[in-house]
Structure 1
Amino acid sequence: MITLAPLIGDIPGVPTLLGLLVLLTLGQLIFHRRAIWIPAKLARRKVARGKLLRGLDWMDKPARFLDRGAKQRLIWIARGPGQYVMAIICMLVAAAMPIMEVVPFSANGGGLALTAFGLAIVARDGLLALFAILMTAGTTWFVLSNLPW
């Protein structure tokens, strides 16, 4: 969701870093790991309680909105093989994040697609997965048509 923010998601290096985190976590999903491993340096990071609570308060309203919209629909898309197809598409989007840094605001579209895929996987919402696929296709078209060849 960080890459959705128009200014934060367009800071050079941020989309690439977040893409690497997506690759790390989804790679573990594909290999059926029960728990997500992250580098020790990241695992040891601490956030002050006040900052965490402010961040949670700030995200409460958008999270409620997303929660109301996500339902178990077209479950066959979001389970089994469909889940792995979504994970592979997400990995491709994450791997393309460095390229998206060259095209202004395209990382925001990639971030929206990744957010929608993540929510689709968690909520088993195949309709949301189809939306994420459309966002991925639209972002791909936008990036390819605006690359400075």
Structure 2
Amino acid sequence: MPQEFTGLGQLLEQIEASCQHSERVSLLLVIEVIGLRSYAPFLLVVGLILFSPLSGVPGVSTAMAVLLLLVAIQLLLGRRHVWLPQWLLNRSISKKKLIGALHWLRRPAELADHWIQPRLDFLVRRSGTYAIATTCSLIALAMPLMELVPLSATTAGLALTIFGLALVAHDGLLALIAFTITALLSLLLAHTLL
């Protein structure tokens, strides 16, 4: 049964615990941990995957871009629950790769959990949420370009992780940081590709 997470570390622990009984871990299994009622954990998980070494696994960045776009559009449309197609839910990676990425993320998660707190909540409510969803849609659409620029997908993953944390913790300062990272990433992509 999905639950409310009190921190990023707890989310990582729950994902790791859920995948102990199979050799491959599907997106459906991860979603069963985070639940379908809230968009914030989806952004958080997509961001964590792109920020982690998993972004180097062929096909992962593309699958995450599709997931991100689907989630962001549904958030913009005001849907109460997340809908995802079965073919995307069936995508999987090896348990070994996932657990390695989760362990790699553990230290940054501990640092984040000590720092985040509710503040500037007008940036993560109503119009702020729409701005975040629009920005996430643009990141998803730019993901194919990021395949051409080293570390850009990782930087996008960092921004998405921070957006997810901002929504989970109602921390508008984190949203501002994520908007700034996205703007810098846009400048980097424009400078490199033009």
Q: TM-score range by the shorter chain?
A: 0.7 to 0.9
Q: CA deviation at 1:56?
A: 9.7
Structure 2 unaligned regions, length at least 5: 1-47
Partner residue in 2 for 1:95: 141
State the Cα RMSD in Å.
2.8
Structure 1 unaligned regions, length at least 5: none
Indicate if the aligned counterparts of 2:54 and 2:101 stay in contact, CA closer than 8 A: no
Structure 1 length-normalised TM: 0.82
Aligned partner letter, 1:4? F
Q: CA deviation at 1:37?
A: 1.1
Of residues 175, 181, 188, the one that matches 1:129 is 175
Q: CA deviation at 1:57?
A: 6.8
Partner residue in 2 for 1:113: 159
Counterpart Cα distance in 2 of 1:28 and 1:72:
25
Q: Which runs of 4+ in 1 moved over 3 A?
A: 10-13, 41-48, 53-57, 59-64
Partner residue in 1 for 2:4: none
Partner residue in 2 for 1:3: 50
Q: CA deviation at 1:38?
A: 1.3
Q: CA deviation at 1:41?
A: 3.4
Partner residue in 2 for 1:72: 118
Structure 2 length-normalised TM: 0.64
Please list the CA deviations of residues 119-140 of structure 1 after superposition, one character each: whole Å capped at 9, or x if unmatched: 1112111100110011001111
Partner residue in 2 for 1:35: 81
Counterpart Cα distance in 2 of 1:105 and 1:134:
17
Indicate if the aligned counterparts of 1:10 and 1:101 stay in contact, CA closer than 8 A: no
Counterpart Cα distance in 1 of 2:77 and 2:117:
26
- How many residues are paired up? 146
Identity, % of aligned positions: 42
Indicate if the aligned counterparts of 2:124 and 2:167 stay in contact, CA closer than 8 A: yes
Q: CA deviation at 1:12?
A: 4.9
